[in-house]
Chains A and B, each alone.
Chain A
Amino acid sequence: MRTLFIAAVAAVGIAGGLHAADVKPAVVYDLGGKFDKSFNEAAYNGAERFKSEAGVDYRDFEIQNDSQREQALRNFARKGHDPIVAIGFSQAQAVEKVATEFPDTHFAIVDMVVDLPNVRSIVFKEEEGSYLVGMLAAMASKTGKIGFVGGMDIPLIRKFACGYVQGAKAVNPDIEVFQNMTGTTGAAWNDPVRGGELAKSQFDQGADVVYHAAGGTGLGVLQAAADAGKLGIGVDSNQNHLHPGSVLTSMMKRVDNATFAAFDDLKNDAWSGGVQVLGLAEEGVGWAFDDNNKSLITDDMKTKVDAATMDITSGKTKVHDYMSDSSCPVS
């Protein structure tokens, strides 16, 4: 019976492989939810762009708790959805399990590496984008003190912090950077009150620019910055519009492009598994410059950051990746 089932699944898989152009894409968001104005919303935007450009509808699911990840992925796979994009590092185990069960379905995971032939692992060089916003923060700061508020204390977030400090020190070697983490559990992504308090404590210590990498918690950070007349820096999506004039810039992580590419590649038979590392050179990360923060970014700042971008993409400047050796050369 079991072999029969596997054979049936394999047959369906092969049949599916023959019609690679008929994609039935699906997205599983992380705990922050589809409209977190940040990480997950970027994935949503990418999926929406695919829908309007390719005319193919997609299904999505917002998980409410950790145990739903696997169910959601398996459900989509069983219903023949392909490719299935899982957003967030915490989906890794679930993706690994379900991708093994459905070897002919294509999976993509953002922010984590799952070593299976049918999984595309998309990771970003957050340190490079953070380096650029660190430079901007250091140039915008009048007190010579800036802050960082992280969400959950994990290596990925340390990576943001490390790149940020490196960028700031590149502009001003004497700059003081306050670093705080919101917590050690998943709840740390969704605690704006605590985020606001952390930002206030950094302002009280003299910081006047604060960068957050904290999902929903970061909304409290940006709010506190706007209330106190200081500057905040957004993350993942372009958050400049949340408090125009009080958000210096946003470190953009192009999860939208990655999601779009995953859908589009399978549609065009150009799917590739393995690890994709997206940095500044691949336009996987960057900083946001639009009408909302035009007045905050001087020409001088822009020139310097553009020069640094060139240096990083050409390999002249190397930004240290915290996750490569779990330590940061500067603090």
Chain B
Amino acid sequence: MDLHAIVLVLDSAVRLSVPLILAALAGLYSERSGVFDIGLEGKMLVGAFAAGAASAVAGSAYVGLLAAVGASVSFALIHGYASISQRGNQIVSGVAINFLAAGLTALLGYAWFSQGGQTPPLTPEGRFRNITLPGAETLRDVPVLGEIYVELISGHNMFVYLAFLAVPFTWWVVYRTRFGLRLRAVGENPAAVDTAGISVTWLRYRAVIICGVFCGFAGAYLSIAQSAGFVRDMTAGKGFIALAALIFAKWRPWPVLGACLLFGLLDAAAIRLQGAKLPGIGEVPVQFMQALPYVLTVVLLAGFIGRAVPPRAGGTAYVKER
């Protein structure tokens, strides 16, 4: 494998890890505030559908993005209402969100566009196109660095850069701002936050809304940036992989980036190494390569990261003492 091949695999890994990074960060805000969220998948899916539908109708990618965030946030608020205001079971609510999203997107897709649950193919204006960073052409001839800059760093769409910027941003919010301190506190010990005179409910709602915004971005990336239209069930379990990455990273922003890149890399390798002959082994069966990301997830989660302790108040609704 030469440098060119390696750079191309990494390039593919970056593209595949973007929805995971956005969704895992979404989960980070919500779960750090003490609201478990297995509905990431569902929120991404409605986001992807809303983006595809709105962008196809309006012909503008930004309208699509806005619709994605709107749809995803409204689903996040349903989850918030059920688990914060009504003190329902957060896991049940999350499962319901996933089912609702899978059914609703297919149903509306059939009803509105009658194309088998797909949204119509998008025009170039309806999509986020790849951005060529300044200097990419002049640097092309520089050995090694030029190639890395042109192939790996330049030439992605807006969401890719946003996702990578969102990681330091999240770190800064969670560890360096007053909001972040309260967010962490409300996930560990909501009673203490309440004693300090801060509304637990409002804090958690804000966390859930931020979660919705990030999921909306992840969904929009899938339908109007990476591909050109929504198809049924297009998230294909990415929300759950993101959740695994979040646990794997022990609910911290930088490790989230690492975990998501690892999963993206495994996925990219599975695609690239299909049918490739490895020295000494021969051709690797396709099935093995496709199972590899999941096998490694299980192995890594089971043995290599130590105990992953969730936020202490996670999963339980806050009830003021009477």
Contacts and interface: CB of A to CB of B under 8 A. Distances in A.
A200 B12 contact: yes
Contacts of B222: 193
A35 B116 contact: yes
Contacts of A32: 116
Given A197-B16, A216-B118, A179 B236 contact: no
A267 to B, nearest CB: 27
Contacts of B229: 192, 219
A96 B19 CA distance: 43
Interface residues of A, number: 33
Contact of A33 (B16, B117, B227, B274): B117
B12 A201 contact: yes
A21 interface: no
B234 interface: yes
A296 to B, nearest CB: 20
Interface string B258-288: 0000000000100110110000000000110
Contacts of B233: 187, 190
B297 interface: no
A198 B271 contact: yes
B234 A223 contact: no
A279 B8 CA distance: 40
B286 A220 contact: no
B177 interface: no
Interface in B1-51: 8, 12, 15-16
Interface in A169-194: 178-181, 183-184, 187, 190-194
B12 A62 contact: no
A222 to B, nearest CB: 9
A304 to B, nearest CB: 29
B121 A242 contact: yes
A181 B286 contact: yes
B70 to A, nearest CB: 23
B204 interface: no
Interface in A196-216: 196-198, 200-201, 204, 216
B231 A192 contact: yes
A183 B290 contact: yes
Contacts, number: 79
A153 interface: yes
A64 interface: yes
B228 interface: yes
Interface in B230-257: 231-234, 236
B132 interface: no
B199 interface: no
Interface in B266-322: 268, 271-272, 274-275, 286-287, 290
Interface string A32-66: 11111100100000000000000000000010100
A64 B275 contact: no
B106 interface: yes
Contacts of A64: 106
B85 interface: no
A191 B236 contact: yes
A219 B226 CA distance: 13
Interface in A82-107: none
A193 B227 contact: yes
A196 B227 contact: yes
B277 to A, nearest CB: 12
B26 to A, nearest CB: 19
Contacts of A183: 290
Given A196-B226, A201-B271, A223-B228, A184 B118 contact: no
Given A201-B12, A219-B231, A36 B116 contact: yes
B115 A35 contact: yes
Contacts of B226: 193, 196
A39 to B, nearest CB: 11
B271 A194 contact: yes
A316 B149 CA distance: 53
Interface string A275-298: 000000000000000000000000
Contact of B271 (A34, A197, A219, A242): A197
A34 B16 CA distance: 29
Nearest to A180: B274
Given A190-B232, A197-B12, A201-B8, A184 B114 contact: no
B275 A192 contact: no
Contact of A153 (B106, B232, B272, B286): B286
A146 B124 CA distance: 26
Nearest to A191: B236
A82 to B, nearest CB: 26
B114 A201 contact: no
Contact of A40 (B116, B268, B272, B290): B116
Interface of B: 8, 12, 15-16, 106, 110, 114-118, 121, 222, 226-229, 231-234, 236, 268, 271-272, 274-275, 286-287, 290
Given A197-B12, A216-B116, 18 more contacts: A32-B116, A35-B114, A35-B115, A35-B118, A179-B275, A180-B274, A184-B286, A184-B287, A187-B233, A187-B236, A192-B231, A194-B236, A194-B271, A198-B271, A198-B274, A201-B272, A219-B118, A242-B121
11 contacts: A33-B116, A35-B118, A37-B115, A183-B290, A184-B286, A187-B236, A193-B226, A194-B271, A201-B271, A216-B116, A223-B121
The 5 lowest CB-CB distance pairs between A and B, nearest first, are A33-B116, A35-B115, A35-B116, A204-B8, A192-B227
